[in-house]
Amino acid sequence: MYTYLRTVIVYINRMTRIKQPIAPDGKFSIDDLCKLSALPVRTVRYYIQMGVLDKPLGEKRGAHYVQRHVEQLLRIRALSEAGVSLEAIKGVLRGDAPPVASKPAAPGTVVVRSHVLLGPGIELSISPAEASLTPEQLRDLISAMTDVYKSIKE
pLDDT tens-digit map of 17-44 = 443 345 556 788 888 888 888 888 898 8
In this model, does residue 13 exceed pLDDT 60? Answer: no
In this model, does residue 16 exceed pLDDT 70? Answer: no
- How far apart CA 117 and CA 13 sit, in angstroms, is 30
In this model, does residue 96 exceed pLDDT 50? Answer: yes
State mean pLDDT over 123-132: 79
Q: What is the pLDDT of residue 101?
A: 53
In this model, does residue 11 exceed pLDDT 70? Answer: no
Confidence category of residue 97, pLDDT binned at 50, 70, 90: low
Mean pLDDT for the chain overall: 76
Amino acid at 24: P
pTM of the model: 0.48
Are 56 and 64 in contact, with CB atoms under 8 Å apart? Answer: yes
